């Protein structure tokens, strides 16, 4: 979201911006499909299309184009095998094709539509071609679609929007670290807490949404669905148990609870006596995260992210 916001800011400042997007890649290319970069007239740069001497050279090329009157929109193949035609100067092998699309003040409303879509947790399709950029409220079967017939006849479509959402129940130090990591992984991050004036909650700039709630109706705040993940990490055993009992019978891709094995064993026994089945309790990842002897909030966040990525990618 911040990427598109930076583009909008530059356009509103009457600057032209080149949007660089990797539309295809193969082999060990450092730039992967969907990698993005913006280069503004004032020299501001954000994002990456693979790094290294290739990126440095392409950015220099774009900066020169931005000094001309009518810069074109085009695609450029980069082959990472030394000094050959279309060579990138890199030797990591593989290939990538980069689209260069010029944006100006005429595109402000389009970028605003993209941002509105992201802010409302909806999805849309960004389309690039030699004719420029378009945006539509529709869905693709796959995240990326592209067709390259020639340097003048090409089309690239990308589904944007947050496919996965992580709900973090508990805005403490681990919640803050987990928010930061999942934000960088492209998840829509929602954080809940029931404590007022909690500094780690108030200072959490990585959550897309933060809400103070009562855990008694937590189930009303978490959308069900196979793309939704729930990480419970409140500051009290009683609140952890309360939240889990409220959502355990709902449809989520993942429910995990932070805590020691002893605490979670007790919670399981109590909930079992309250009528929750072994099958229901077995569906909960408790303790949450892969067992990598995590100590700090940041290490715990890594263990949680690794476990959720495993599940998201179908690796059990």
Helix (H, G, I), strand (E, B) or coil at 191: strand
Helix (H, G, I), strand (E, B) or coil at 224: coil
DSSP secondary structure, 159-221, as one string: EES-S-EEEEE--SHHHHHHHHHHHHTT-EEEEEES-TT-HHHHT--S-SEEEE--GGGGGGT
> How far, CA to CA in Å, does 23 sit from each of 4, 50, 77, 250, 251?
18, 12, 10, 38, 35
Confidence at residue 161, expressed as pLDDT on a 0 to 100 scale:
82
When pLDDT is cut at 50, 70 and 90, the band that residue 53 belongs to is confident
In angstroms, the CA 20 to CA 65 distance is 13
pLDDT at res. 81: 60
Query: What's the pTM?
Result: 0.67
pLDDT band at 183 (very low <50, low <70, confident <90, very high): very high
Average pLDDT score over the chain:
92
* pLDDT on residue 110: 97
- Over residues 154-169, the mean pLDDT reads 91
CB-based burial label for 72 (10 Å; 0-12, 13-18, 19+): exposed
pLDDT of 263 reads 93
pLDDT of residue 87: 55
Domain 165-312 top-level CATH class: alpha beta
Tell me the mean pLDDT in the region 123-144.
89
Which secondary structure element, helix H or strand E, spans residue 38, and what is its range? strand 36-40
Q: Mind listing the pLDDT tens digit for each residue in 232-267?
A: 999 999 999 999 999 999 999 999 999 999 999 999
Q: What is the pLDDT of residue 150?
A: 85
153: phi then psi, degrees, rounded to nearest 5: -125, 95
The domain segmentation of the chain, as residue ranges, is 2-113, 165-312
pLDDT at site 22: 95
The number of angstroms, rounded, from the C-alpha of 304 to the middle of its chain's C-alpha atoms is: 16
């Amino acid at each position: 979201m911040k990427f598109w916001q930076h583009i909008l800011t530059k356009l509103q400042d009457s600057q032209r911006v080149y949007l660089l997007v990797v539309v295809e890649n193969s082999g060990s290319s450092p730039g992967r499909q969907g990698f993005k970069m913006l280069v503004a007239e004032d020299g501001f740069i954000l994002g990456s299309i693979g790094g290294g001497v290739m990126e440095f050279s392409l950015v220099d090329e774009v900066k020169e184009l931005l000094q001309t009157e009518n810069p074109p929109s085009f695609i450029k193949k980069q082959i990472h095998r030394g000094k050959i035609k279309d060579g990138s100067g890199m030797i990591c092998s593989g290939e990538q094709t980069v689209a260069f699309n010029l944006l100006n003040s005429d595109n402000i409303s389009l970028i605003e539509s993209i941002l509105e879509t992201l802010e409302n947790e909806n999805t849309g399709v960004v389309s690039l071609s030699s004719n420029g950029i378009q945006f539509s409220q529709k869905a693709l079967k796959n995240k990326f679609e592209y067709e390259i017939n020639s340097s003048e006849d090409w089309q690239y479509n990308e589904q944007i929007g947050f496919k996965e959402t992580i709900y973090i129940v508990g805005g403490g130090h681990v919640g803050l670290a987990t928010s930061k990591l999942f934000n960088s992984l492209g998840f829509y991050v929602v954080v809940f807490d029931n404590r007022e004036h909690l500094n780690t909650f108030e200072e959490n700039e990585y959550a897309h949404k933060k809400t103070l709630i009562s855990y008694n109706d937590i189930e009303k705040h978490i959308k069900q669905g196979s793309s939704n993940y729930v990480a419970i990490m409140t500051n009290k055993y009683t609140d952890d148990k309360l939240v889990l009992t409220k959502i355990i019978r709902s449809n989520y891709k993942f429910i995990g609870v932070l805590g020691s094995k002893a605490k979670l064993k007790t919670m399981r026994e109590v909930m079992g006596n309250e009528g929750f089945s072994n099958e229901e309790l077995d569906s909960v990842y408790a303790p949450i995260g892969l067992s990598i002897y995590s100590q700090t909030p940041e290490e715990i966040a890594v263990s949680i992210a690794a476990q959720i990525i495993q599940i998201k990618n179908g690796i059990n």
